[in-house]
Structure 1
Amino acid sequence: MTDLPKHILGLVIYPGMTALDIVGPQQVLSALPNIQIHRIWKTLDPIKTDDGMMIVPDTTLENCPPLDVICVGGGLGQRGVVDDPEVLEFFRQQGSTAKFVTSVCGGSEFLAKAGLLQGYRAATHWMAREQLAELGVEVGTERVVIDRNRITGGGVTAGIDFGLVIAEVLYGEETAKITQLLMEYDPAPPFDVGSPKKAGSDLVNKAMLYARNLGLAVKQAA
């Protein structure tokens, strides 16, 4: 395994992010051989996610090395960060040299505002598809969208699927399959309502009202 190529991955985290957007990919990617993962923010102070979990960065924007893969997720605190000039400049710089520019859920908005998704298809959470389209992005509805070196995942739980796609891209199908098996990732949800098409309009409308009550800027279901 030591002769496998080394890859440097960067997971950008921030206050108010959704933990699973990054913890899902982190769980998959950390099991891969010869991988170095940086958890990146402006400071090394602990970050509180939107569900109250604390995550500690280990790399700052300023000290981050050039990345082979850069990834960012979404979250309830995204609105307070997504237009930050320092953050967007970091994405522009790293995105100009990274082998793969990636996101999960609402993280695609960061990439779009940094000018990294113009002319590309991308995925996002179903509640954020219209907003992403307004930024000039062709929005896909798949769990994971691959468009050249842009790889983007849909909402929250899609981060695990996304991580396995990254695993396959970096190390091949067999390694990705072994990783999935070791995680016992064999989804069998108790309710088959995980997308707007499956949920139906009544449940979708209730979910959107619930999201608005949480302070999310929701426009309409895709």
Structure 2
Amino acid sequence: MANTIGVVVFPDAEELDFVGPWEVFTASAMLRGQAGSDPDRVVLIGPGLEPVRCAKGLRVVPDATFDDHPPLDVILVPGGQGTRREVKNEKLLRWLAGVSSAAQWTTSVCTGSLLLHGAGLAAGKRVATHWGFEDELEKLGANVVRDARWVRDGQIVSSQGVSAGIDMALWLVGQLYGPAHARATQRYIQYDPAPPYQADV
């Protein structure tokens, strides 16, 4: 059965936090469609339908709004500098708490965990976030895990910074459709990290 995946965006969201998982989810959907299965629908959800300027200057146009979107099976919340402002956005936090109650999975990348915490979704749960934000999130009362790229606690899945969201999204695709499909998706996007500065050369 196909799923509808809502990818949240807001001003100053970190680009790769949501674009990386977007690529994973849409590649997975394409492969499912090619195999004759119903593909997932991936929807970018923002405060309005006007373009949103992200943290590094990329502008994106939402497909739907917090007030008008299809039912969501999976939700992904990115991080970025905008989370410091959005954690005070009561409308967004209420929306996130509401849609999560009906979703199968609610996920975050980087400091998106701050919004999960603000919405009450991370209460009593283990969460991951960007390494530079771990102490601050812990001071807010979160149960921060520091040594894992992503953490699953019930229906909440949170990941560390930026590229860790790709790892989490691939894991989630495996939970939805099995490890073999996740590996096929990973192969299609040719995701096999080999950082050029990993070694002292």
Q: Tell whether the structures are fold-level matches, with TM greater than 0.5.
A: yes
Q: Assess if the C-alpha contact under 8 Å between 2:107 and 2:156 holds in 1.
A: yes
Cα deviation digits, residues 2-50 of structure 1 (max 9, x gap): xxx1101111100111100000000000112321111111100011111
Shift of 1:100: 0.6
**Residues 1:92 and 2:88 are matched in the alignment:** no
**Residues 1:176 and 2:164 are matched in the alignment:** no
Which of 12, 27, 38 is residue 16 of structure 1 equivalent to?
Answer: 12
- The aligned counterpart of 2:26 is 30
Distance 2:195 2:175 in 1: 27
- Aligned pairs for 1:134-149 within 5 A: 134-141=139-146, 142-149=148-155
Shift of 1:134: 2.4
Distance 2:197 2:132 in 1: 19
The farther-off stretch of 27-36 and 13-22 is 27-36
Over 3 Å off, 4+ runs? none
Shift of 1:192: 2.7
Shift of 1:140: 1.2
TM-score by length of 1: 0.82
3-state DSSP of counterpart to 1:30:
helix
- The aligned counterpart of 2:122 is 117
TM-score by length of 2: 0.90
Distance 1:137 1:81 in 2: 18
Distance 1:25 1:135 in 2: 27
Q: Assess if the C-alpha contact under 8 Å between 2:27 and 2:188 holds in 1.
A: no
Distance 2:140 2:100 in 1: 18
Q: Assess if the C-alpha contact under 8 Å between 2:87 and 2:115 holds in 1.
A: yes
- The aligned counterpart of 1:73 is 78
Aligned length: 189
Q: Assess if the C-alpha contact under 8 Å between 2:27 and 2:189 holds in 1.
A: no
The farther-off stretch of 159-168 and 74-83 is 74-83
Shift of 1:104: 0.4
- The aligned counterpart of 1:131 is 136
Among the aligned pairs, what percent are the same residue? 40
Shift of 1:132: 1.8
Distance 2:186 2:65 in 1: 30
RMSD: 1.2
Structure 2 unaligned runs (5+)?
Answer: 33-38
Structure 1 unaligned runs (5+)?
Answer: 194-222
3-state DSSP of counterpart to 2:197:
coil
Amino acid aligned to 1:18: E
3-state DSSP of counterpart to 1:190:
coil
Distance 1:133 1:64 in 2: 33
- The aligned counterpart of 1:214 is none
